[in-house]
Structure 1
């Protein structure tokens, strides 16, 4: 099985945001993924919904053996395990969340399905906080 280089963005705006992100990173690592690079924490306002809760975000580069949909299932499992109840793809809108893990890039793959689009267009081209986090990762 080959290794794939993947860029992830993690965010949290409920509870102890930094601890939530640190726990998610630990769970990603425990899934036999190799950590290559982790950004500094970045605080940002919510995007595309209104909330008084500020987000804490990081970017993460990993090597993984998971194929794209397997990786999506893996990170969604972490979100659920950590207490996330609303997924924006299911609910059709954004809301406060304990943890959010997005797959931004997967090697140089272009992939689109109902559940996953790689590269993640909004994070790469539309969201200012993402461009700050990803400037040294892409």
Structure 2
């Protein structure tokens, strides 16, 4: 079974943000994925919405046997398990969240569907905090 190199960005701005990120990484690992490298935590202001809750973010390189859509379903299930109620795609906007996990790159693949775009354009090219986290990962 081949392993695919994937870069993920994770963020949390509710509850104990660092513990939320660590739990999400644990769940990713428990799902049969190898976590190869994880960045330091980065504290940031919310982007594209107003909130008094700051974010804690990390980047991670994982190796997975899952296809892009299988991986998306897997990480969305983790978000729901951890208590995330509104997904920005379904709600049409951003809001505070216990956990957010985004697929940034997947083996250098260019992929676009209704549910997923790889590479993740906003994180790669528009968001300054993402550029900081991803500088050693892409």
Give the TM-score of the pair, scaled to structure 2: 1.00
Cα offset, 1:31, TM superposition: 0.6
Q: Which runs of 4+ in 1 moved over 2 A?
A: none
CA deviation vs aligned residue, 1:75-128 (integer Å, no higher than 9, x gap): 000000000000000000000000000000000100000100000000000000
Q: Which residue of 1 aligns with 2:39?
A: 39
* Aligned counterparts, 1:14-33, within 5 A: 14-33=14-33
Q: Which residue of 2 aligns with 1:105?
A: 105
CA RMSD of aligned residues (A): 0.3
Find the residue that maps to 1:9 and give its secondary structure: strand
- Structure 2 gaps, min length 5: none
Give the TM-score of the pair, scaled to structure 1: 1.00
- Structure 1 gaps, min length 5: none
In 1, the alpha carbon distance for the partners of 2:3 and 2:24 equals 21
Q: Which residue of 1 aligns with 2:54?
A: 54
Question: What count of residue pairs does the alignment treat as equivalent?
Answer: 138
In 1, the alpha carbon distance for the partners of 2:15 and 2:35 equals 25
Find the residue that maps to 1:61 and give its secondary structure: strand
In 2, the alpha carbon distance for the partners of 1:37 and 1:17 equals 19
Q: Which residue of 2 aligns with 1:13?
A: 13
